[in-house]
Structure 1
Amino acid sequence: MLPGSEVEALVEYVKYLSIRGQMETALHLIVYELEDREVVDENGQPVLDESGEPLLQRTPLDPSRYPEQRDDVMSYLEEIMEGWESANQQIIVPNENTIPADDRSPVEVLASIEAGRQLFYGKADCKKCHGPTGLGDGQQTDHDNWNKVQKKFLDDIDLKLKDIDKRVAAGDLDEAGQQRLTNDRVELSRWQEVADTFYKTRNAIPRNLRQGIYRGGRRRIDIFHRVFTGIAGTPMPGSGPATLDPEAKSALTEIEMWNLVDYVLSLPYEAPSRPRKALPVNVSEVAN
């Protein structure tokens, strides 16, 4: 549908979006580690609160102003770009001797599908997430990397709020100490409300394999790559070796991965994936 030049342009833009997403996740990590600083006036003197204590304010994310933040940003960016620059050396090329032939007999295909089914429910344990029927109704409580960071942030706030409540209930703080805890509670609650309103955490819901719709392509080689490498940033693990070292061990052999490919691609054509249509309703008049 698109000429080659436009396809290449689209690919480059999608890569850019991926890099931006990685960088935004890294910025979240930087923000969560920011500490409070004393507020100072135009003369550089600390501003005091109502209790006479120095007024504290969360350090803003401003790499142009704070050298340590700039160093952190550049460190994360270099790490991200190193991964992309080395990506071409990590391309997965299946062993030609393991790739199923195009002219397999129906008996051979069925045998591979059955082997894949055994792996799905056994050694590969795909049912844990994709569910016993492949509907994506297995575990529903895990998160992708982005949401794990967000969930940790909200969990940490919740723990700090509970700690404040315990310290207030202990009743061993003077008025100034009570005021500081009150200020901390207001600030933490504000961060919690903003994060929970605009950045709600979402669970990583496994794919319904019976729909025949796959992110990343539906060709056999596309599914093989997903099985081999997993999906980065998500709970889905890879079944291939962690490195391209020929001596590295993998959870499944390549032949077993192709068996899984055959089974996954067969699921949309099974009877449970194609429910029967409702029978026509008898609309003829019924005699009294």
Structure 2
Amino acid sequence: MGSSIEPPKAILFDIGGVVVISPFQAILDYEIASKIPIGYINYAIQAGPHDTGAWQLLERGEVELNDAWFTSFKSQLSRPEVWTAYLAKLASQESVGGGQAIDGGKPRVPSIDAKKLFWSMMKISRTPDPYMYPALRRLQDSGKFILGAFSNNVTFPPGIRDDTGEIYTKELILPPPPSPYANDSSDITTCFDIFLGSAAVGVRKPDPEAYKLAVREMDKIAQKKGMGRVTEGSTLFLDDIGINLKFARRTGLRTIKVDLGRTREAVRQLELQTGMKLLREEEGGKARL
């Protein structure tokens, strides 16, 4: 597959929403089922605050995942000032599209089951994406690139139970035979030369230090393999969150935006960047996983 674009030396992947099914899908499903305005939950999460927000602290590994954290997470999603700001953001629209009981003419702050929401996000993101995961495996088999991952992730205490009382495992839910990936490792980290998790390294995207760290680590691996140097400019980064991509570009990385439900289009862009054929689809455009 020919391309006039100079291929990257390293490719850095986000995990949720890129390589595996997006946890944002679980958020969307929860909002629809609970009649909460679409986008509010992610807005509340992103509102942080950066230094003290429950979600941010968990992803930096500064707090433990336990009942106290779930209480804090619920509070993060229930701040009146954030809810008011989000309603103001939607003010130009015909309606807010949801919300709970009307009080004084305005929807009250939604009461969100933080534990149920969190575990639904974790469970859905155990499933490999039907387009991106096969593309990743083909890139891995080619041996042409240094493959890295940087995920804003969570450390799960041993034996932790989900909202149904079942012991949670973060292992991939692989497709059954005759899928060519049925016997893959259920450990997603085996797909990469280097896997960096925010909870382990203590820094999360979009902090520029996250990207600099990833490039440094991939550069070390490239030199050991005799593949030359990896720089910011020779690194291609895939993520589903705009602010993460914005700061990656500011740091010097090339980027591909992976939109919710549109990973196939992102793989097409990846084909152009790498010069490789990465999509092998069944007739009718269905992914082969």
Same fold (TM over 0.5): no
TM-score scaled by length of structure 2? 0.24
Q: Flag the structure with higher helix content.
A: 1
